[in-house]
C-alpha cells in the first residue's frame, strides 16, 4: 500500500504559489502604471533611475493602503528603496506616538503576505 505523506504539502504549495502569483500580479499592475505615469525620480531625494537600476525605485502609497489604487495615480509616489523605508518608519513612529495601531505594518499577513517578502528580495538584489 503506497504511502502518500506529501498530499497536504502539495496542496499547501499550490495555495502558496497561487497567492504569490496574485500578489505579484497586483504589484506589477500598479507598479507598471505608476512607472508609466511618473518620471523615474525619487520623490524625496530626487535620485534619477534608468532601466538598469529601476528595481530600486518603488511605488509608495500615500495613504499607506496598498489596495487603494485610483486610476489617476493620486495615491502613488515613486520613492527609492531608502526613502521608502524612511517614509514607512516615520509613519509607524507617528502613528504609534498617536496611539493608533497600524494593521498594514504590524500584521502584513492579513493583506498581502508576499508583498513584503518580494520587496525584501528586491532590496537584497544589487
Binding site for Zn ion (CB under 5 A): 42, 44-45, 60, 80, 83
CA distances from residue 55 to 63, 79, 80, 121 in whole angstroms, order as listed? 22, 11, 9, 10
Question: For Zn ion, which is the closer residue by CB, 30 or 60?
Answer: 60
Question: For Zn ion, which is the closer residue by CB, 20 or 64?
Answer: 64
Neighbours of 50 (CB within 10 A): 8
Q: Provide the minimum distance between the beta carbon of 60 and Zn ion in the complex, in angstroms, as a whole number.
A: 3
> Which of 21, 14, 33, 11 has its CA nearest to residue 112?
21
Q: Provide the minimum distance between the beta carbon of 27 and Zn ion in the complex, in angstroms, as a whole number.
A: 12
Question: For Zn ion, which is the closer residue by CB, 7 or 46?
Answer: 46
Amino acid at each position: 500500500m503506497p504511502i502518500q505523506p506529501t498530499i497536504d504539502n502539495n496542496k499547501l504549495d499550490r495555495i502558496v504559489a497561487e497567492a504569490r502569483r496574485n500578489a505579484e500580479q497586483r504589484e506589477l499592475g500598479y507598479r507598471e502604471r505608476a512607472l508609466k505615469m511618473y518620471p523615474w525620480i525619487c520623490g524625496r531625494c530626487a535620485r534619477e533611475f534608468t532601466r538598469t537600476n529601476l528595481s530600486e525605485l518603488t511605488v509608495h502609497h500615500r495613504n499607506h493602503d496598498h489596495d487603494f489604487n485610483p486610476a489617476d495615480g493620486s495615491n502613488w509616489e515613486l520613492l527609492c528603496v531608502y526613502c521608502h523605508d524612511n517614509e514607512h518608519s516615520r509613519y509607524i513612529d507617528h502613528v504609534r506616538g498617536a496611539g493608533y495601531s497600524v494593521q498594514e505594518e504590524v500584521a502584513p499577513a492579513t493583506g498581502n503576505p508576499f508583498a513584503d517578502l518580494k520587496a525584501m528580495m528586491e532590496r537584497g538584489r544589487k
